[in-house]
């Protein structure tokens, strides 16, 4: 299926920009995606192909074949090994999400999902929201483990969505980060948005979405610190970005600058970050409920090792 053809002149404001950066700004996709289109021959400048690093000139004519919109994603209903149910009733199901499982299907993700795992094990979920995100009211990164709630009824979906939006849900995480924070207890209030590089990372960016993280040191080791973290907002990669911005990335979080030597020594193959507990007002009973998740084996082992070194 071929994409949409677009032809337009380079605006004056993009004079001298790299071609990949100009396309990114004109069409709103990442520089990586822009570079892929250029390399595949889907971009012509004044009728000829160009390199992604070529500088564009105002008035030059661009012919771009945009990729077709992604087809609707549907969750694959298959049980997910290691995904435990912490609690379930007619309105909600709380899962203990293992490593390597995304919340719901996304473009480019071919691994298991929480929604697919629930459907595959015979659990019903709410049908509100986009088809691939049925019942999803909040997310955890694929390699972040721990407690996650999914709505089963439509009323639970709407009330939980509102609770997360209005920040009345208490979300607690534990993170093992490199070094020692100063002060040992504090708040990071720094806006987050996509990293300018367009490589899938997020970053503290002026004008980004307001993001607030409260942290408290539970235990300080020689090489790392175990933190208790309360999220006030829930931006993508928020804890990972804020800890990296403080120059204390989560152990094993290579995407955000973690030391690979320390991670290898502790046997950590992903970011040391765990959604320890979720507390919220039950959407139909009104009762304040709390669900907790124990550390998985890889994270528990890493804490024992770093404690033994101290």
DSSP three-state, residue 65: strand
Which one of the listed residues 42, 96, 141, 253 is annotated catalytic? 141
Q: How far apart are CA 124 and CA 92, in angstroms?
A: 10
Of 259, 255, 251, 263, residue with least CA distance to 236: 255
Sheet of 61-66, strands arranged across: 4-9, 61-66, 43-45, 48-49
Q: 51 phi and psi, to 5 degrees?
A: -90, 155
Q: What tokens appear for 7 in the block?
A: 């032809």
Torsion of CA 291, 84, 109, 232, to 10 degrees: 10
Residues contacting 282, CB < 8 A, separation 6+: 91, 92, 288, 289
Task: Indicate if 228 belongs to the active site.
Answer: no
Active site residues: 141
């Amino acid at each position: 299926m071929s994409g949409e053809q677009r032809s337009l002149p380079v605006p004056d404001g993009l004079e001298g920009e790299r071609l990949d950066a100009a396309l990114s700004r004109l069409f709103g996709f990442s520089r990586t995606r822009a570079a892929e289109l250029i390399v595949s021959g889907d971009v012509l400048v004044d009728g000829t192909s160009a390199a992604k690093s070529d500088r564009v000139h105002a008035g030059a004519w661009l012919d771009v074949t945009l990729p077709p919109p992604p087809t609707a994603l549907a969750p694959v209903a298959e049980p997910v090994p290691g995904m435990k149910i912490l609690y379930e009733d007619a309105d909600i199901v709380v899962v203990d999400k293992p490593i390597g499982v995304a919340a719901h299907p996304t473009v480019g993700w071919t691994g298991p999902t929480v929604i697919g795992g629930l459907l595959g094990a015979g659990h019903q979920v709410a049908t509100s929201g986009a088809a691939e995100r049925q019942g999803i009211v909040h997310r955890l990164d694929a390699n972040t483990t721990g407690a996650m709630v999914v709505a089963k009824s439509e009323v639970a979906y709407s009330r939980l969505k509102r609770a997360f939006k209005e920040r009345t849900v208490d979300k607690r995480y534990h993170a093992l980060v490199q070094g020692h924070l100063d002060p040992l207890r504090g708040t990071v209030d720094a806006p987050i948005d996509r990293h300018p590089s367009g490589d899938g990372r997020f970053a503290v960016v002026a004008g980004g979405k307001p993001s607030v993280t409260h942290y408290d040191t539970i235990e300080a080791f020689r090489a790392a610190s175990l933190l208790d973290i309360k999220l006030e907002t829930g931006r993508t990669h928020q804890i990972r970005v804020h800890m990296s911005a403080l120059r204390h990335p989560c152990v094993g979080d290579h995407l955000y600058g973690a030391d690979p030597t320390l991670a290898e020594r502790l046997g950590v193959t992903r970011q040391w970050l765990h959604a320890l507990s979720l507390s919220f007002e039950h959407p139909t009973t009104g009762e304040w409920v709390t669900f907790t998740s124990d550390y998985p084996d890889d994270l528990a082992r890493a804490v024992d090792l770093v404690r033994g070194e101290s």
